[in-house]
Amino acid sequence: MSACLPASPPEPVFQQPWHAQVFALTISLNEIGRFSWPEWVARFSDVLAQHGLDKDLDGGDDYFTAWLATLEAILAEDGAAPAPEVDRLRDDWERAYLDTPHGDVVRLTTPRCV
């Protein structure tokens, strides 16, 4: 019995690496009991509806931006990732990215005390 290979490789499931990362993180947090899947679905549906009011969602960055917003809201509410801390860390990463020469590894400096 011989197996036939597809004529071309399959399309990637995720358009960007960060899509896969936030998806995997959400699955892991669900599996360890941080939130139930029905809770996730309800919250994510609400966020998708809010994001979709401005434009049609295309299933790429806009979809996963809504996914990330949902995850951040859940983690902020239970104290695991307070919004001010997430905002500060996001700003630190952006600054590090913008200050890093192309091709070099992006690194955060020692975290600031707040």
Burial of 76 (0-12, 13-18, 19+ CB in 10 A): middle
Residue at 7: amino acid letter:
A
Residue 4 lies in a domain: no
| pTM: predicted TM-score of the whole model, two decimal places | 0.73
Residue 107 lies in a domain: no
Distance CA 31, CA 63 (A): 22
Residue 8 lies in a domain: no
Which of the residue ranges 11-20, 24-33, 89-98 has the most confident prediction, judged by mean pLDDT? 24-33
Residue 114 lies in a domain: no
Give the chain's domain count. 1
Residue 12 lies in a domain: no
Run of H or E including 23: helix 17-31
Residue 87 lies in a domain: yes
How many C-beta atoms surround the C-beta of residue 49 within 10 A? 11
Q: What is the sign, positive or negative, of the torsion defined by CA atoms of 58, 91, 16, 45?
A: negative
Which residues span the domain enclosing 68? 17-99
Distance CA 114, CA 94 (A): 18
Residue 31 lies in a domain: yes
Residue 64 lies in a domain: yes
Distance CA 19, CA 65 (A): 9
Each residue of 42-78: pLDDT tens digit? 999 999 888 776 666 666 788 899 999 999 999 999 8
